[in-house]
Chains A and B, each alone.
Chain A
Amino acid sequence: MSLVALNPNAHKALKINAQQVPHIGANAHLIPVVVSEFQKLVVNYPIVFTKHADTGQFVCSALTGFNEGENLFWQEGRWQALYIPAQIERHPFFVGQDTDAQGNAKPVICFDDASPAIADTDGDALFNDDGTPTSLLNEKQQLLAQLLDGEQQTQQFIDALLSHSLITPIKLAVTFADGSEHTVQGLFTIDEEKLAQLSAEAIASLHAGQWLGAIYTLIASTAQIYALIDRKNQRIEHGNAWFS
């Protein structure tokens, strides 16, 4: 990866091949997500918590597969879902840091020069002829802003859940169509029983923090695990068809 700060003059002719963007998540079984996209995620994905490998702290993710390297939404070279998480969709752009004349840090948009989504000829332009950003670039900017704000908000969401001891491990043993067994490990969700037992004060504080919508959306999204199992079984059956 080689990150370059985006510049309207230098990168006037740069194009993005939108088809290539989701490629980046083809082998990811967990995609980091933010609270502000829960409403869209719930249409396709189970939203879960996992622990960061280095810090052990909870992070919020969309579950896209049962094993490392397995994205069950990635089929026949494309991402088959109504909504693609912002963390994927924002590619090949990143938020970098620059310092202004006063020496203050300010976020700048960078892009990955080595990304397969970067194109010179095929694809959609980032800048109009007059140098203003195209709607594509505006969209990407909004996604980056959503992620930047969302990271902090999602952390506050997790802290609020932890302060009420509402995070609990997912206990699920799955038998797939080929008879293979899989015990779900390292995934966490919201403890519905504890939620139901919370005091009026505790509920009021979650309400004041505007977390109740996210809590119930996340709980509802858990049912998507069964849709994910179905995707896995379909993949297994496709595999079998090849050999039969």
Chain B
Amino acid sequence: MTSASQPVRKVVIVGGGTAGWLTAGRIAAEHATKAHHPVEVVLVESPNIPTIGVGEGTWPTMRNTLIKLGVRETDFIRECDASFKQGAKFAGWVTGDADDFYYHPLMLPQGFSQGNLGPYWQQHQDTIEQSFSNAVCFQEALCEHNRAPKSIRHAEFGAVANYAYHLDAGKFTSFLTRHCTEKLNVRHVLADVTGVIAHDNGDIRAIQTQQAGEIDGDLFVDCTGFQSLLLGKHYKVPFVPCDDVLFIDRALAVHVPYDSPDAPVATHTISTAQQAGWIWDIGLQSRRGVGHVYASRYQSEQQALDQLAQYVGPQFNDLSVKQIHIQSGHRAHFWHNNCVAVGLSAGFLEPLEASALVLVELSATMLAEQLPVNRATMPIIAKRFNQTFQYRWQRIIDFLKLHYMLTKRTDTAFWRDNCDPATIPDSLQELLDLWRYHPPYDHDFTSNNEVFPAASYQYVMYGMGFESDLSFGQQQVARAFAQQQLQMNQQARQKVLSALPTHRDLLNKINQYGLQPV
């Protein structure tokens, strides 16, 4: 029996993919090396189950995560085949025409905190003669010209332009394994979980393993991937699918080598819409990761393969294709008794906005920062955790759906059905009803737990040609202010384009010389 005053002294992470190691690392960095009341962190990993290795794209949050883990950015870039990501380019999502694209960069629109340029741009776009993202942010130009977000003279994690990473998930896991075990006191146990031993109150007392016997703990983190061994299989917390909103359920992935070692590396994720899904294209240092996610309800695997082959080109025939079945959705709740799920065990959504790793980071951060000190406070923090992440999953689903439902494409049933009001969540529909008259801005997003800020909505909505009815003169900014901001962006763009090296050049220099910590 557990008592309410039972302190949390030992956290057991079950599963050793990126979710497991990021969570172990964050908790250990915060608690394992403390002089007073240290918390032991154990990671139990099956020697027989391969990791899925989803998520080659991160958010800018990963920089702070790496800093918290005490990782050198130079080591990370070198050892994880990593590159710099400055946003996403969506091609073919609006009309499907050859010149149809828009950007979702990682920097706020110019002067965002002082005024909303959205309505001004909407009314004057014919004279501005630039897309919204290009007119209000210089990052699109950096992406289009393959420029790095910083130079070799910037400190690790410092930059001119905000950035995230593209990385090799397998290499990242190995990198984190070494760092967590060597620097952060995480104990690594290679063993297969065979059962769960429960307390009377339903808490997990220990997990039974084949190779290492019983492993007891005060808090168990389920990072077992799609298996969801503890939360799903043991506690039977139901899975809430969202395939009625997001139709994607298959992925075909390939690694595409570069033509030459000095080939340009894209500094943004390229997402190209297809007939019943889209193709991701991610540039690492040594190869590209390319994949087709599609809805099997709308097309056969052969059709999907053909489209992927056409995208990749003749070398496709030499590549091995990895097939992944995905089910979009998440568990009804994530923290049950003394068990919390992080990563795929909590849920999965298509990688359209790289939400997988950021959800892991947000979960790991909340666990590390609000780790219950004893069993008595656990239900309170569990409740808060569940509310927070139910909200976050729903908001991500809404935001992903936005990319589909604003399309003007009618060429296939996939795109037509995506615009069917019956497939649009009420929470998203309500915002759209508001935005028909009130242009999207900061005040629409008031929660502390927001995942995508107002600026992200603006980039996608204006990128996809959404227009508010502005006949009531809502949110007008002074013409002088707007023109000044657009001018400032133009000047900044010229400055960074002449000052920053190419992405490949910076990566080469980091490999050769390294970035300085300051």
* Chain A contacts to B: CB under 8 angstroms: 51-58, 162, 165, 167-169, 186, 188
Tell me if B515 and A56 are in contact (CB < 8 A). yes
- The yes or no answer to B518 lying at the interface (CB within 8 A) is yes
CA distance A88 to B517 in the complex (A): 31
Convert B476-512 into 0s and 1s, putting 1 for each residue whose CB lies closer than 8 angstroms to a CB of A: 0000000000000000000000000000000001001
Question: Can you list 30 contacts pairing A with B, beta carbon distance less than 8 Å?
Answer: A51-B152, A51-B153, A51-B516, A52-B153, A53-B153, A54-B152, A54-B509, A55-B152, A55-B509, A55-B513, A56-B151, A56-B152, A56-B153, A56-B154, A56-B509, A56-B513, A56-B514, A56-B515, A56-B516, A57-B513, A57-B516, A58-B516, A162-B516, A162-B517, A167-B516, A167-B518, A168-B518, A169-B518, A186-B153, A188-B518
Q: State the Cβ distance, B78 to closest chain A Cβ, in Å.
A: 14
Interface residues on B, range: 10 to 19
CA distance A53 to B513 in the complex (A): 12
Residue of B with least CB distance to A51: B153
CA distance A212 to B73 in the complex (A): 29
CB contacts between A and B, total, < 8 Å: 32
Q: State the Cβ distance, A179 to closest chain B Cβ, in Å.
A: 24
9 closest A-B pairs by CB: A56-B152, A51-B153, A55-B513, A56-B153, A57-B513, A56-B513, A167-B518, A168-B518, A169-B518
CA distance A51 to B518 in the complex (A): 10
| Chain B contacts for A188, CB-based, 8 A | 518
Residue of B with least CB distance to A56: B152
CA distance A54 to B512 in the complex (A): 11
Residue of B with least CB distance to A167: B518
CA distance A176 to B514 in the complex (A): 36
| Chain A contacts for B517, CB-based, 8 A | 162, 165
CA distance A52 to B514 in the complex (A): 12
Within B80-132, which residues are at the interface with A (CB < 8 Å)? none
| Chain B contacts for A57, CB-based, 8 A | 513, 516
| Interface hub of A52, A54, A188 (most chain B Cβ within 10 A) | A54
* Chain B contacts to A: CB under 8 angstroms: 151-154, 509, 512-518
| Chain A contacts for B154, CB-based, 8 A | 56
| Chain A contacts for B516, CB-based, 8 A | 51, 56-58, 162, 167
Residue of B with least CB distance to A186: B153
| Chain A contacts for B512, CB-based, 8 A | 55
Q: State the Cβ distance, A121 to closest chain B Cβ, in Å.
A: 46
Q: State the Cβ distance, B507 to closest chain A Cβ, in Å.
A: 13
Q: State the Cβ distance, B73 to closest chain A Cβ, in Å.
A: 12
13 additional A-B pairs beyond A55-B513, A162-B517, A167-B518, beta carbons within 8 Å, are: A51-B152, A51-B516, A52-B153, A55-B509, A56-B509, A56-B513, A56-B516, A57-B516, A165-B517, A167-B516, A169-B518, A186-B153, A188-B518
Residue of B with least CB distance to A168: B518
Residue of B with least CB distance to A50: B153
CA distance A4 to B153 in the complex (A): 34
CA distance A162 to B509 in the complex (A): 19
| Chain A contacts for B509, CB-based, 8 A | 54-56
CA distance A105 to B52 in the complex (A): 54
Residue of B with least CB distance to A165: B517
Q: State the Cβ distance, B191 to closest chain A Cβ, in Å.
A: 38
Residue of B with least CB distance to A191: B518
CA distance A162 to B515 in the complex (A): 12
| Chain A contacts for B514, CB-based, 8 A | 56
Q: State the Cβ distance, B287 to closest chain A Cβ, in Å.
A: 26
Q: State the Cβ distance, B84 to closest chain A Cβ, in Å.
A: 15
Q: State the Cβ distance, A88 to closest chain B Cβ, in Å.
A: 24
Residue of B with least CB distance to A55: B513
CA distance A167 to B518 in the complex (A): 7
| Interface hub of A52, A53, A56 (most chain B Cβ within 10 A) | A56
| Chain B contacts for A51, CB-based, 8 A | 152-153, 516
Q: State the Cβ distance, A19 to closest chain B Cβ, in Å.
A: 36
| Chain A contacts for B515, CB-based, 8 A | 56
Q: State the Cβ distance, B356 to closest chain A Cβ, in Å.
A: 32
CA distance A57 to B512 in the complex (A): 11
| Interface hub of B152, B512, B518 (most chain A Cβ within 10 A) | B518
Q: State the Cβ distance, A79 to closest chain B Cβ, in Å.
A: 28
| Chain B contacts for A56, CB-based, 8 A | 151-154, 509, 513-516
CA distance A188 to B151 in the complex (A): 17
CA distance A57 to B518 in the complex (A): 11
| Chain A contacts for B518, CB-based, 8 A | 167-169, 188
CA distance A139 to B513 in the complex (A): 35
CA distance A146 to B512 in the complex (A): 28
CA distance A54 to B513 in the complex (A): 10
| Chain A contacts for B152, CB-based, 8 A | 51, 54-56
CA distance A5 to B403 in the complex (A): 68
| Chain B contacts for A167, CB-based, 8 A | 516, 518
CA distance A168 to B515 in the complex (A): 14
| Interface hub of B153, B513, B515 (most chain A Cβ within 10 A) | B153
Residue of A with least CB distance to B150: A56
Residue of A with least CB distance to B154: A56
| Chain B contacts for A58, CB-based, 8 A | 516
Residue of B with least CB distance to A166: B518
Residue of A with least CB distance to B153: A51
CA distance A169 to B517 in the complex (A): 11
| Chain B contacts for A169, CB-based, 8 A | 518
Residue of A with least CB distance to B512: A55
Residue of A with least CB distance to B501: A54
| Chain A contacts for B513, CB-based, 8 A | 55-57
CA distance A12 to B489 in the complex (A): 62
CA distance A53 to B36 in the complex (A): 45
